Amino acid sequence: MNLTSMQHNKVTVSVIGASGYSGAELVKLLMKHPGIIIDELYAHTQAGKRFTELYPAIPCDKTFQTYSGQTDSDVYFLALPHGEALQLVPGIVKAGKKVIDLSGDFRLTSTAEHKHFYGGDKSAEDVLQYGMPELFRDEIAGSTAISNPGCYATSIILGLAPLFRGGMAGLEVESVNVTAVSGISGAGRSAKLELSFSEMSGNMRAYKVGKHQHTPEIMQALGTSATDPSFRFVMTPMIAPYVRGIYSVLNVRLASPVALESIRELYAEFYASAPFVRLRDGVTEVSHVAYTNFCDVSLAFESDGSLVVITAIDNLMKGAAGQAVQNMNLMLGFDETTALL
């Protein structure tokens, strides 16, 4: 399907798992996309309710349905809990439809790492093209099924990718120590006592230290693995009492000194054709990217020679729904930024 035909015949899109925060963000973006029509919204636990009952601020007139294998739409987004997409995606792909899956089910090539970090089994065939446009734009454009990156992974990979994939001669990373802070929406919409207002107001805490499921995804995208890493990697995820956004501070130890201006030039060149990555002169903030699909990057050096990379994204946009729509645009031949600016 080319862009000319789609301009006359809009693409039909359905969302499976549309009642969660990422699903609702997808609906909001798809409603303003000029090339698509929302077909169905599926949400098993909310079936029969109107979308506006859950999200009054988003004027979508659809009623949630139960998904039972329908393949009538041209494109399917899946925003389901980890493990559920493994059962659904093969049938949708077999029916000749395009798929963007927002879970971690199809990200990892290593079945052992998937089992260790996600706690479930999958076959070696359960891998889709990784959907990070800044790294795999051409591959995404030629794919029918995409595994959308995780939110922490997006913020950290985009902060490190030029160091590992930018081709600077003599540049070697010895270690990376990450502290990444997420807003509460990153934990999803289901009620949890530890995420209630009385527990989180004025509070902040680390979680999944040393075992976060995005660790192997990050390492894989950087050309190594969590089980046999080519550099030392430590990630400490944290949750803070704000709603949306991920703020990652990456302390990078380089094998030999490199001038900051050279690093800035490396990043600027690497992201020259990336419309949603912005290299900032000052220190970025979560508020700079909230409700947008941008990833802002700041660079500095510590007094001991360590490179400090700071990134900020909106976890529901660039970390989920926004990047998913960006991938859909590439798959369908739309301008990459459609409905995202």
Which residues participate in catalysis according to the annotation?
151
Provide DSSP, 151-219: HHHHHHHHHHHHHHHS--TT--EEEEEEEEEE-GGGG-SS--GGGSHHHHTT--EE-STTT-TTHHHHH
Q: What are phi and psi of 256, to 5 degrees?
A: -145, 155
CA distance 108 to 85: 14
* Sequence-ordered strand ranges (E) for the chain: 11-16, 36-42, 75-78, 98-101, 129-130, 145-147, 173-182, 205-206, 232-239, 246-254, 277-279, 295-301, 307-313
CA distance 148 to 77: 10
Q: What are phi and psi of 113, to 5 degrees?
A: -65, -40
Q: Give the closest residue to 323 by CA, choosing from 75, 22, 7, 11.
A: 22
Q: Which residues contact 268 (CB under 8 A, 6 or more apart)?
A: 279
CB 340 within 8 A of CB 276: yes
Terminal CA-CA length for the chain = 24
Q: What are phi and psi of 241, to 5 degrees?
A: -80, 60
CB 189 within 8 A of CB 21: yes
Q: Residue 171 class from Cβ within 10 Å (0-12 exposed, 13-18 middle, 19+ buried)?
A: middle
